Amino acid sequence: MSKREKPVYGFIRKGNSLVPAMEFDMAALDGVAQGELVNIEIKQFRNTLRLRAYFAVLREVINACDLPYTKEKLHEIIKLQNGVIDPVTLPSGLTIAIPGSISFEKMSEAEFQSFFKKAEKWLAETYGYVREEVA
């Protein structure tokens, strides 16, 4: 089973314990004996409200500044302008930068928060756009 096919289980911290968030998550423990040591990878879930806010800001900037971009295109530009890139070497030997990913697999929630702040700063410097909450 590839990493992408593996289910993601959610646990909530309560004191010094991790408690399954739902029945689905509880089922992940069915094959684990009491007292058995297990290996886990702790990752915080992406804050979906923050991610939605990011894309809402992009729509606001496009509308307020009458930009000729979709939010997806502006997102790609912001990634390139703020160092979220994947270098690719072409058959000719020339290395170019293509927009990288902000997926949770590539960028932690803390890194995304930092990226969002850099994006807002770049939007302010480039288009003079500042969200009301930030102003």
Q: Where are the domains of the chain?
A: 1-42, 48-127
CA distance 118 to 39: 35
Burial class (CB in 10 A: 0-12, 13-18, 19+), 105: exposed
Does residue 2 carry a pLDDT above 60? Answer: no
pTM, 2 dp = 0.69
What confidence category does residue 134 fall into, taking pLDDT thresholds of 50, 70 and 90? low
SS (H, E, C) the chain: CCCCCCCCCCEEEECCEEEECCHHHHHCCCCCCCCCCCCCCCCCCCCHHHHHHHHHHHHHHHHHHCCCCCHHHHHHHHHHHCCCEEEEECCCCCEEEEECCCCCCCCCHHHHHHHHHHHHHHHHHHHCCCCCCCC
What confidence category does residue 135 fall into, taking pLDDT thresholds of 50, 70 and 90? low
For residue 19, list its beta bridge partners.
Answer: 12
pLDDT in tens, 57-111: 999 999 999 999 999 999 999 999 999 999 999 999 999 999 999 988 888 888 9
Nearest to 25 by CA among 39, 8, 1, 42: 8
Whole-number pLDDT of residue 48: 86
